[in-house]
Amino acid sequence: MNDVFAVRELGIPVRTVMHGVLVRGRDAGGRECLYGVMAQHGSEIGMFLLQIDIDTGESSRFDMPAGIGCGPLLWSEHWRRFFTYVSDGMHGDGRLVEFDPAVGAPRDLGV
């Protein structure tokens, strides 16, 4: 079989993505990487973050606090972390969520 048409497993598939954004950032070691933030319809998690190694394509998934939707994503080179403003619905209160790669978990900073 021709390798061009061979099926390769690239990871766990994301089903029914409602929102997806890629931004440049840095990992815990300070190396450039990509961050993908996605919302998945029908999932109890809802929004999650993928940290993607540019050289290898390997990724790590970080689930956002439950019950929130997607919002704009901003990487801060000064603070070495990203921030996103999210809401828990079309008319819900907004929340600020921070992800510091050195900590390795999103933190809900509140309304």
pTM of the entire structure?
A: 0.71
Give me 106's structure tokens: 């999103």
pLDDT tens figures, 41-91: 666 666 788 899 999 989 998 888 776 666 667 778 777 787 776 665 555
Q: What are phi and psi of 41, to 5 degrees?
A: -65, 140
| Residue 27: per-residue pLDDT | 92
Give the integer Cα–Cα distance in Å for 4 and 64.
Answer: 36
| Residue 7: per-residue pLDDT | 64
| Residue 42: per-residue pLDDT | 62
Beta strands in 8-77 (DSSP E): 17-26, 32-40, 47-53, 59-63, 73-76
Confidence check: pLDDT of 33 > 90: yes
Give the integer Cα–Cα distance in Å for 75 and 106.
Answer: 13
Query: Tell me, what amino acid is at 105?
Result: A
CA distances from 37 to 4, 6, 28, 81 (A): 29, 28, 17, 14
- Averaged confidence pLDDT in the chain: 76
